[in-house]
Amino acid sequence: MESTYTLGDVQALDARRHLNTFGSRLPILAVAGEGSCLIDENGRRYLDLIGGIAVNVLGHGNAALSAALADQAGRLIHCSNLVYNPWQTVLAERLCEATGMDRVFFANSGAEANEGALKLARGYHVEQGRPRARVLSATDSFHGRTLATVTATGQPKYNRKFAPLPPGFSYLPFGDEEALTQAMDDDVACLILELIQGESGIHPLSREYVALARRLCDKTGALLVIDEIQSGMGRTGCFTACQLYDVRPDIMTLAKGLGGGVPIGALLASEEAARGFVPGDHGSTFGGNPLACRAALTVLDEYERLGLTARAGEAGKRFRAALAPAVSDEGPLVEIRGAGLMLGLELATATTAGGAAAVRNRLLAEDGILINSIGQTTLRLLPPLVITDEEIDFASRAIVEALQK
């Protein structure tokens, strides 16, 4: 079915009918995609360095994923979790093998997976006969938009409007080992962390901090929850950032790229932590349905066929090497953060007129490049893992030129 709407038509209708949650969007009407490019209604191609915000790991229009979805849609899109479906079970096995975890619950999004993780952590301590409710998270973190996960999010701009917030949440200064040590005691149910913070601008924790977090959780009995919503699915050059940091959490969450664009999230747990749920404690109508699980299995198959986890690491190195000559204490580019194809470019405001948003707009208008700006000074790159060397070189040259203008 071809769209006959113009950008103007959709903008006018959106302004009348859509809840005003996204504000003024980029002036692009996306109607198709191919590889690392989005295509608008006029046929213009845009190199997509946002990747659906880390979702389109296989790019756009992947033939294997499209074929699997079409085949599954013709067989069975949905059935309730009152019966078994084979794709859900096989996907659970594949994810446990890939992550080193023991059990899986499927949700529809990262926020739902994190919501389940918080419930599981509290439920675990109740099942042990020692209820604990306190949840520790980091400042500048982002864990979702549900009431509990937005409360766990350590950014007041996202949660203060919705007070009173659920009780039992405390925030630790990001990466502060002393604050972590002082906060961890026997009333903490769990510590939830992003090993590389995504939404706040790609900020990695140190290996020493993560090792300390694991030791303190072991000492106090708190569960370590690692949010891999953005850093998982091979984006860092390892299948999970936990593998990059050589840490095994008690609970892990995945989503975004897991379905290659089809909504699906996963809550993974160790055998011990999984004791926190008994029948009836948690559930989902759509979570783990045949269509979403078939999509995720196809994504995993494509990862193996194309070597995408290793490719993400190599592609990230190529981006860094191409951008490195522009890095200087005087700017305009002062730092490159992250791992693999999860990169943050820190700009110097004094030498970058209009800040990160101006650079984003310039790249879109002049080069047809979609890139994400965060705050005044950060550009975030989360491209498809299938991005080519030629596309990386083109994007790097354009970014450097845009910064220098």
Q: Is the pLDDT of residue 2 over 80?
A: no
Q: Which residues contact 363 (CB under 8 A, 6 or more apart)?
A: 369, 370, 371, 398, 399, 402
The pLDDT of residue 24: 86
The pLDDT of residue 207: 98
Q: How far apart are CA 223 and CA 234, in angstroms?
A: 24
For 33, the 3-state DSSP assignment is: strand
Which tokens is 127 given?
A: 């099942």
Calculate mean pLDDT across residues 217-235. 98
Counting runs of H as helices and runs of E as strands, what totals does the chain give? 14, 17
Q: How far apart are CA 262 and CA 207, in angstroms?
A: 33
Lowest-pLDDT range, 69-73, 140-144, 169-173, 350-354? 350-354
Calculate mean pLDDT across residues 109-133. 98
Domain 76-306 sits in CATH 1.10.150.120: no
The pLDDT of residue 11: 94
Residue ranges, comma separated, of all CATH 3.90.1150.10 domains in the chain are: 7-61+308-404
The pLDDT of residue 217: 98
Q: How far apart are CA 62 and CA 290, in angstroms?
A: 19
CA 95 vs CA 72, 104, 236, 361: distances in Å: 20, 8, 17, 38
The pLDDT of residue 405: 79
Domain 7-61+308-404 sits in CATH 3.90.1150.10: yes
Q: Is the pLDDT of residue 350 over 60?
A: no
CA 17 vs CA 20, 21, 25, 289: distances in Å: 9, 12, 15, 30
142-201 pLDDT per residue, tens: 999 999 999 999 999 999 999 999 999 999 999 999 999 999 999 999 999 999 999 999
Lowest-pLDDT range, 216-225, 338-347, 353-362? 353-362
Calculate mean pLDDT across residues 318-335. 93
CA 257 vs CA 71, 180, 212: distances in Å: 21, 31, 29
Measured in whole angstroms, the distance separating CA 294 from the mean position of its chain's CA atoms is: 20
Q: What are the backbone dihedrals phi and psi of residue 134, each rounded to the nearest 5 degrees, phi first?
A: -75, 130
16-56 pLDDT per residue, tens: 999 999 988 999 999 999 999 999 999 999 999 999 999 99
Do you know the residue count of the chain?
Answer: 405
250-297 pLDDT per residue, tens: 999 999 999 999 999 999 999 999 999 999 999 999 999 999 999 999
Residue ranges, comma separated, of all CATH 3.40.640.10 domains in the chain are: 76-306
Q: Is the pLDDT of residue 321 over 80?
A: yes
The pLDDT of residue 12: 94
For 53, the 3-state DSSP assignment is: helix
- Long-range contact pairs involving 400-403 (C-beta distance under 8 Å, separation at least 24): 400/323, 400/325, 400/326, 400/333, 402/359, 402/362, 402/363, 402/366, 402/367, 403/326, 403/332, 403/333, 403/347, 403/352, 403/359
Contact 141, 152 (CB under 8 A): yes
The pLDDT of residue 352: 59
For 81, the 3-state DSSP assignment is: coil
